[in-house]
Amino acid sequence: MNPKHEIHEKRSLQIHHMVAQRFFEDPAHVIDCGLTNLKRWKQNGVDCDDFMIWEQILKFSPLRIPEILKDTSAEATRLRQSSPFAGLISEDERREILFTTR
């Protein structure tokens, strides 16, 4: 794997570990954020197959969310690349992960 890509994947995994923690603290907020983002992106003409998968997970299998966010499988890695959880962690938290994860 390309070293830059490997760092990106590590950072993504750390960010999504934080999102999983937020799910345990307030699952309804995480689900609502994900569905709201997906709806807005679709209205703006941004769509991909993984958005449909995320929508199904959020609506019908929300207990899978933390598992997917923390899993290192190829499928979970792919789904994290189209994560609908933008805005759930602060810019400061995201920046700290970007600067500390190598």
Query: What integer pLDDT is reported at residue 58 of this predicted model?
Result: 96
Give residue-wise pLDDT tens across range 41-55: 999 999 899 999 999
Q: What pTM was estimated for this model as a whole?
A: 0.89
Band of the pLDDT at 5, cuts 50, 70, 90? confident
Q: What is the mean pLDDT of the chain?
A: 93
Q: Copy the structure tokens of residue 71.
A: 């899993």
Torsional sign, CA 44, 45, 47, 51: positive
The helix (H) or strand (E) run that includes residue 75 is helix 74-80
Give residue-wise pLDDT tens across range 64-90: 999 999 999 999 999 999 999 999 999
Q: What is the mean pLDDT of residues 27-41?
A: 97
